[in-house]
Amino acid sequence: MSRTLSVAALAASLSLILTACGGKAPAAAGGAAASGTADASAAPSDTQQQLTAKLNAYIGCFNALDSKTHGSIQSYTRWIKDVDAGPTGRETHVYGPFEISDYDMKQCDAPVTEAIAAKPALADLDAAAGHYQRALKALVPLSKDAHDYYDRQDYEDDQFAKGKQLHAPLMVAFKDFVAASETFNAELERQNDAAQREQLKALEQAEGRTREYYRLAMMLEAKAIMDLMSEDDFDQAKARERLDAFNRISDEAHAKVADQEPGKSDWEGFERGAENFRREGKERLQRVSEKKPYTDFERRMLDSPSMAPRGSANKLMQEYNTLVFQSNRQ
């Protein structure tokens, strides 16, 4: 699975390896300043702007590389029977890790270094960002070396000699990245959730319940649902409450802002994404509450990035990521 972050919406947990739906991020923590229509008191403070800039830098890095790097790990390890031992040389289907591009790494280099040094200081998040950046930088040359080796099929010439040599340091780098990713994701979610809830309050106080208010409110509810329902042992009563809350804010938004111009067609796409997410949340709750088993075919598709069965955590995550994408288009 893949995963995505944006200042507008934060995708779910790393254990599910969600994909980043890259998209635009708001220029400031408060919608009023960007619109130019609210009074000066509605403008975000310097501290809010600094916090938004810091989070945007971290999220840009995370979105650029986290999902791709987890995919690289899966690509490399899926054909190795014993990952601890490494390749035997008798494998028939082999795949190297993905190469981490210079373009993507640029988003995790200077912007992250500058964000760590920037105010406001957020000790835990800044430390997690630094670890994430170091883990990526350590992985880049190892990943490229292994990518080139397998892509050029050099293992046919040396009977996997270099492949066996590369395996141990590559796995060490992968494991360090996964640990760094988990910590960075958790801290980034915590800070981003808090920032978005403050933004929501500021928006309502400054402008009332505008389209931007509803978009952010719906995404916060959707993320709460995703966080709660990502495992099969979730609290079903709380899930019903969360789904009802999402339904209420979605219905209110449709009644009040769906027909507004400009941007009506983009909003319709967002509403379709919200409706699909709502339906899949209901399917997820029903499947778990009724303890409906997966068929053999569905079980094989549980980790599919596009064919996960209805009512599964992965399917709900796919609909959530689509909603993130639509949110970022607004």
Report d(CA 205, CA 197) in Å as an integer. Answer: 13
pTM, two decimals, is 0.74
Three-state SS at 271: helix
- Per the CB < 8 A criterion, the answer to whether 325 and 23 are in contact is yes
pLDDT band at residue 8, thresholds of 50, 70 and 90? Answer: very low
User: What's the pLDDT score for residue 181?
Assistant: 96
Three-state SS at 137: helix
Instruction: Encode 43-59 in three state secondary structure.
Output: CCCHHHHHHHHHHHHHH
Per-domain boundaries in the chain: 42-198, 209-330
The pLDDT tens digits of the residues spanning 130-185 come to 999 999 999 999 999 999 999 999 999 999 999 999 999 999 999 999 999 999 99
Q: Quick one: DSSP state of residue 3?
A: -
pLDDT band at residue 1, thresholds of 50, 70 and 90? Answer: very low
Report d(CA 276, CA 258) in Å as an integer. Answer: 17
Q: Angle 219-3-125 (CA atoms, 0-180°, nearest 5)?
A: 80
User: What's the pLDDT score for residue 31?
Assistant: 34
The pLDDT tens digits of the residues spanning 14-58 come to 222 233 333 333 222 333 323 333 343 445 678 888 998 999 999
User: What's the pLDDT score for residue 26?
Assistant: 28
Residue 120 or residue 7, greater confidence? 120
- Per the CB < 8 A criterion, the answer to whether 294 and 310 are in contact is no
Q: Which of 48, 323, 73, 55 is nearest to 206 (CA)?
A: 48
The pLDDT tens digits of the residues spanning 237-279 come to 999 999 999 999 999 999 999 999 999 999 999 999 999 999 9
Report d(CA 319, CA 325) in Å as an integer. Answer: 10
